[in-house]
Structures are given as structure tokens and as C-alpha cells.
Amino acid sequence: DSGVTQTPKHLITATGQRVTLRCSPRSGDLSVYWYQQSLDQGLQFLIQYYNGEERAKGNILERFSAQQFPDLHSELNLSSLELGDSALYFCASSLQGSQETQYFGPGTRLLVL
Amino acid sequence: GQNIDQPTEMTATEGAIVQINCTYQTSGFNGLFWYQQHAGEAPTFLSYNVLDGLEEKGRFSSFLSRSKGYSYLLLKELQMKDSASYLCCGTDSNYQLIWGAGTKLIIKP
């Protein structure tokens, strides 16, 4: 158990819909990272937040947005969903920044029908 | 551009030794991570190298050569449970993360 929690574990929705994925980092960790992993593909870095502020941006679509709240939990919002958005979405956290070990949550498996 | 390259797939035999290579091209360099990921599960941390040399941790060792932009993960006494993907991840001068596509390691009895 990494100490990072993600909800929900599974999500099934339809094209065009909007969903919100939630992540609670390990106690004391200030950075949160979001990743997308499609079937048999590598990890695609989406975005990083540090203590409530956006720190780094990867290959995140404009239809996707995220935020980190004062209690340090984070949400990833996916809108106008397409079939290709079906993937495993991981959240990870680290104490400070990206030069430190990341601890990954169990992931949210999203299926868009 | 910034890039991390690692082999797509490797096969090895139970009890043997395997070396998974990773080469990187980044603007500046601030360390390299190796993570293990079993199918359908979250990645877990294996090692972090920021200085040249070999870091040994039980059956797993990781090596870094900054001048060559090269790292490898060495797995000894392979066990069936080592069948997984191994992800190489570098950090550039701005501490941006650059992930490789992962190497799928298949262990055969």
C-alpha cells in the first residue's frame, strides 16, 4: 500500500460525458502527478501540482483539467469524453518535487462506451 | 529533443541474470529512476541514480553513466514474479520528468 488513494476504482461512461477522478496523496506529500496509461502503452505524464499550484504540464488535452485543493487532494476532470480516452489513470505523489520518489495510487480504470 | 529509449520487450530464464538498458537525451540531467510495473497495477519505485556508478539493492542493481547518457537495471537470480514492465524515467535540468515507454520482461521457467 503506497498511501496514495484514488477514487473511483472503475468508471464506465458514454462518449461526450464528463467525469471527475479524485486523488489523495500520501500524508505529508506536497506534489501530485497525473498520468494516463492506455492498454499496453507507456505512462503519459499529464500534469503536476505542487502545494496547490501547477508545476509542470505534459501531454494534457484541453478537454482535461486538474486542480489541487488546500488539503492537497487533487481532482482530474475529463470532459467531452471520446472512446480513445479509455485508459488507466494514475495519480502519484512525492514529498516535494520530481527529483524525488513518486508513490503511485492504484489507478482509476475508465471505460468510455 | 528530449528522449528516453529502452527495449520494448526482453525474455529471460528463471534463475538467470538480465540487463535492461536505457539511454536518454535530455536538456541537462538531474537523476534517473527505475520503476517496476506489473500488468494492471501501479508502478513501484526500484532505484534512483544521480551520480555515476552502480547502486546495489538486493537482487536488483542500477547503473548510471552521465557522460554516456546511459543507465541499466540488472536483475539477478530471476524469479517468475519479476515478469513485469520496467520503466526508465529521467529528470532534466528543470526537473521535468521524461518517461521511457517501458520494457516488458518475460521470464520463462
| Model pLDDT for residues A36-88, shown as the tens digit of each residue | 999 878 899 999 999 999 998 988 999 999 999 999 999 999 999 999 999 99
Say if residue A106 is preceded by a cis peptide, omega within 30 of 0: no
CA dihedral B11, B3, A84, A89 (to 10 degrees): 80
Which B positions 10-69 lie with beta carbon below 8 A of chain A? 30-31, 33, 40-45, 48, 50
Whether A98 and B99 lie within 8 Å, measured CB to CB: no
Of B40, B41, B95, which has the smallest distance from its Cβ to A98's Cβ?
B95
B42 compared with B25, residue with greater pLDDT: B42
| Model pLDDT for residues B31-44, shown as the tens digit of each residue | 899 999 999 899 99
Of B30, B42, B96, which has the smallest distance from its Cβ to A104's Cβ?
B42
Look at residues A35, A22, A10, A8 and name the one whose alpha carbon lies nearest to residue A73. Answer: A22
Quote the radius of gyration of chain A (alpha carbons, Å): 13
Q: What integer pLDDT is reported at residue B1 of this predicted model? A: 63
Q: Which residues of B touch A92 (CB under 8 A)?
A: 43
Enumerate residues 6+ apart whose C-beta is below 8 A from B108.
B11, B12, B13, B14
Q: What integer pLDDT is reported at residue A51 of this predicted model? A: 95
- All cell numbers assigned to B47: 532505484
The DSSP secondary structure of B8-70, one letter per residue, reads SEEEEETTS-EEEEEEEE-SS---EEEEEE-TTS--EEEEEE-SSEEEEETTEEEEEETTTTE
Cα distance from B9 to chain A (closest Cα, Å)?
Answer: 12
Average per-residue pLDDT for chain A: 95
3-state secondary structure labels for all residues of chain A: CCCCEEECCEEEECCCCCEEEEEECCCCCCEEEEEEECCCCCCEEEEEEECCEEEEECCCCCCEEEEECCCCCEEEEECCCCHHHCEEEEEEEECCCCCCCCEECCCEEEEEC
pLDDT of B21 > 80? The answer is yes
